[in-house]
A and B are shown apart, each in its own frame.
Chain A
Amino acid sequence: MEGAQAQQGDPAASGAGRPLVVLDKVNKHFGDLHVLRDVDLTVHAGEVVVVLGPSGSGKSTLCRTINRLESIDSGTITLDGQPLAAEGKALARLRSEVGMVFQAFNLFAHKTVLENVTLGPIKVRGLDKAAAVKRGRELLDRVGIGEQADKLPAQLSGGQQQRVAIARALAMDPKVILFDEPTSALDPEMINEVLEVMIQLARDGMTMVVITHEMGFARRAANRVVFMDLGEIVEQADPETFFSSPQSERGKDFLSKILSH
């Protein structure tokens, strides 16, 4: 476990650049429930961090605190050196730098696929419509949904919707994208089409924090695996090390449960 901790402070070990997302002693309660306990985490530019852990371990909450969809009780979170603002325009500006992909896709139900992708750039970035549409179509092509641009989200399959959601996040040119269980709501046959897009993104150098149960994705794309349990980061290591020889008892226990079948 000590060895894994040491690796966190060593960007060269994960082949990454400057610290982009830094959580320092972050605590969060839901009523009496202590969901995040003194969480320290640094994500470097270009790094792909996969967060694993049993349900209720706080991994989803951790992800949501990074763009402050969840507030924190104590500690600090900085994005590219800037502390996360509490509210208002400053917070909105920081959020626009952080993409987010949700488990339930959350595409704007009344907007077409293309409008979903252009809304942020037009309203938040002030991009003119023609430029936003051009870029939006490029991004939809990139995730393989170009043909569906004028449909409504509900007319698409789950896998297609999630790829649109990734394109929507990319349209803001974010510094980092958070994936909150992006394939958990998908039918099995649609998981791969989403993972392929994510793996390509990782190869293109996007900084990503990914909450997922997909071990295959972690092995193929992650620089680092962070294992959480009961609101704490229990251990972190490169995927091979973690999957083949987890250091903590809780890590071993978790892997034995998910890998046994």
Chain B
Amino acid sequence: MEILLDNIGKILEGFQVTLILFAGGTVLALVVGTVLASMRVSPVPPLRLVGATYVNVVRNTPLVLIFIIVVFALPELGIQFSFRLFAILAVGAYTAAFVTEALRSGVNTVQAGQAEAARALGMTFGQTLSHVIMPQAARSVIPPMGSILIALLKNTSVAAGFGVIEATGTLRELGRDFPQALYWLFFGIALGYVVLVLLVSAVFRQLERRLVVVR
């Protein structure tokens, strides 16, 4: 038990990095996912193809492989970021594929009449999507989006294998220094993740309550 209290500063620092990865990954996944979902429902076949290809390739690739590609391939191309930024890119790009599919299922729940009414007013496809369809689609996919972001939060732990000392990386370092207290460390770090996931769930429960679409 004392082992956790003795190293509380280090553990909190680790979780702080986890939160940075989570926040960066979430922003990236939501932005890229929204763009890709828009492409997937657009009337332009090449855009639909790009969206579908991204989803199928990225969703079917293990996250660790994506990390390897980002961390080792991008520097080959002359793109050099910090490991932390690479990690955000990797989890964000990976999660974007899931966000895309969740949003697309949300788009399908929006009644066709909504888009017709928008088009009848003279809105372009982009305006119809951004002012009428996507806001309603997003509201209807809040529960699955919560699950996706919880998965993203836990997936940030893969970054520990790629030079980022976040919560799981901290666990590994402390475990090496205090092998006799390994179980306590596991317990403490796992508890930290549980607390964060519960926080994310609570946020989504609130969102669901406030933004539910009344039809």
Residues of chain A within 8 A (CB-CB) of B203 are none
Q: Which residues of A contact B213 (CB under 8 A)?
A: 109-110
Query: Is the pair A92, B116 in contact by a Cβ cutoff of 8 Å?
Result: no
Most A CB contacts (10 A, CB to CB) among B111, B131, B213 go to B131
- Which listed residue (A100, A104, A155) contacts B120, Cβ 8 A? A100
* Contact present for A119 and B124 (CB under 8 Å): no
A115 to chain B, nearest CB (A): 10
Chain B residues with CB under 8 Å of A92's CB are 119, 122-124
Q: Determine chain A's interface SS by DSSP, over half rule.
A: mixed
CA distance A165 to B114 in the complex (A): 12
B79 interface residue, CB < 8 Å from A? Answer: no
A106–B119 CA distance with the chains assembled, in angstroms: 12
A98 adjacent to chain B (CB < 8 Å): yes
Kindly provide the distance from the CB of A105 to the nearest chain B CB, expressed in whole angstroms.
8
For B215, list chain A residues within 8 Å (CB).
109, 154
**Interface contact A96-B116, CB-CB below 8 Å:** no
Q: How far is the CB of A223 from chain B (nearest CB, A)?
A: 24
Are A102 and B122 also in contact (CB < 8 A) when A110-B136, A119-B131, A154-B214 are? no
Report Cα–Cα, A94/B118, bound state, in Å: 13
Indicate whether A104 sits within 8 Å of B214 (C-beta atoms), given known contacts A95-B122, A120-B123, A172-B122. no
Contacts of B123 in A (CB 8 A): 92, 120, 123-124
B136 touches A109 (CB 8 A): yes
Contacts of A123 in B (CB 8 A): 123, 127, 131
Instruction: Report the nearest A residue to B124, measured CB to CB.
Output: A92
Contact of B139 with A by CB under 8 A? yes
- Chain A: interface residue count, which band? 20 to 34
Whether B78 is near chain A, meaning CB under 8 Å from some CB there, is no
Any chain A CB within 8 A of the CB of B132?
Answer: yes
Partner of B127, one of A124, A165, A168, A172: A124
Residue of B nearest to A119 (CB): B131
| Cα separation A108 to B111 with both chains bound (whole Å) | 10
Query: Is the beta-carbon distance between A106 and B116 smaller than 8 angstroms?
Result: yes
Q: For B116, what are the chain A residues with a Cβ–Cβ distance below 8 Å?
A: 69, 102, 106
Decide: B135 and A96 in contact? CB cutoff 8 A: no
- Report yes or no: B117 in contact with A100, Cβ–Cβ below 8 A: yes
Quick one: CB contact mask for B195-215 with A, threshold 8 Å, 1 for yes? 000000000000000000111
What CA separation (Å) do A104 and B111 show in the bound complex? 10
Q: Which residues of the other chain, A, contact B117 by a CB distance below 8 angstroms?
A: 100, 102, 106-108, 165, 168
Residue from the set B114, B120, B132, B139 with the largest chain A CB neighbour count within 10 Å = B120
Set of chain B residues within 8 Å of A172, measured between Cβ atoms = 121-122
CB distance from B54 to the nearest CB of A (A): 26
Contact with B along A115-139 (1 / 0, CB 8 A): 0000110011000000000000000
Whether B62 sits at the interface, judged by CB under 8 Å, is: no
Complex A-B: 28 CB contacts under 8 Å: A67-B120, A69-B116, A69-B119, A69-B120, A92-B123, A95-B120, A96-B121, A96-B122, A97-B122, A99-B120, A106-B113, A106-B114, A106-B116, A106-B117, A107-B117, A108-B114, A108-B132, A109-B215, A110-B136, A110-B139, A110-B213, A120-B122, A123-B127, A123-B131, A165-B117, A168-B117, A168-B121, A172-B122
> Which 8 A-B pairs rank lowest in CB-CB distance, beginning with the nearest?
A96-B122, A106-B113, A120-B121, A106-B117, A154-B214, A100-B120, A124-B122, A95-B122
Besides A93-B122, A124-B121, 9 more A-B contacts (Cβ < 8 Å) are A95-B121, A96-B121, A97-B122, A100-B117, A102-B113, A107-B117, A108-B132, A110-B136, A123-B127
